[in-house]
Amino acid sequence: MSKISRPVFPQAKRQAVALGQRLRDARLRRRMTSLAMAERAGISRATLHRLEKGDTSISLGATQRVLRVLGLEADFDLLARDDVMGRKLQDMALPGPRPRRPAKAARDGG
């Protein structure tokens, strides 16, 4: 059986490519070869190369291991940290203030 390939939205592809470039830059700043990085992360050199090129089929686990080797694992906690849209939707579902009844004196005419 062949695996079904799902289309990737252009923005998601751009984000994956940008992430891959940032990971590659971080590896190079640490003067680490791709072979050393792959070995330390427990992935193949080909997988690391695909991750650095922005391949969206690389597992989240492999990405986490690369971040850990780079000392950037705390960055993973920032993903989807502030759910702005979810909070807005939640706030919209909250009951609003109840309409107040006029004071008794105003209702009775005086």
Sequence spans of domains, the chain: 10-93
What's the mean pLDDT in 75-104? Answer: 83
Between 95 and 37, the more confident residue is 37
- Look at residue 23 in the predicted model and tell me its pLDDT: 98
Pick the closest to residue 54 from 85, 96, 24, 33 (CA basis).
24
The predicted model scores a pTM of 0.74
Please tell me the predicted confidence (pLDDT) of residue 5: 76
pLDDT at 110 over 60: no
Q: Which CATH architecture has domain 10-93?
A: Orthogonal Bundle (1.10)
The answer to whether the CB of 83 falls within 8 A of the CB of 60 is: no
Task: Quickly count: other Cβ atoms within 10 Å of residue 69's Cβ.
Answer: 22
pLDDT in tens, 61-71: 999 999 999 99
Percent of the chain with pLDDT over 90: 62
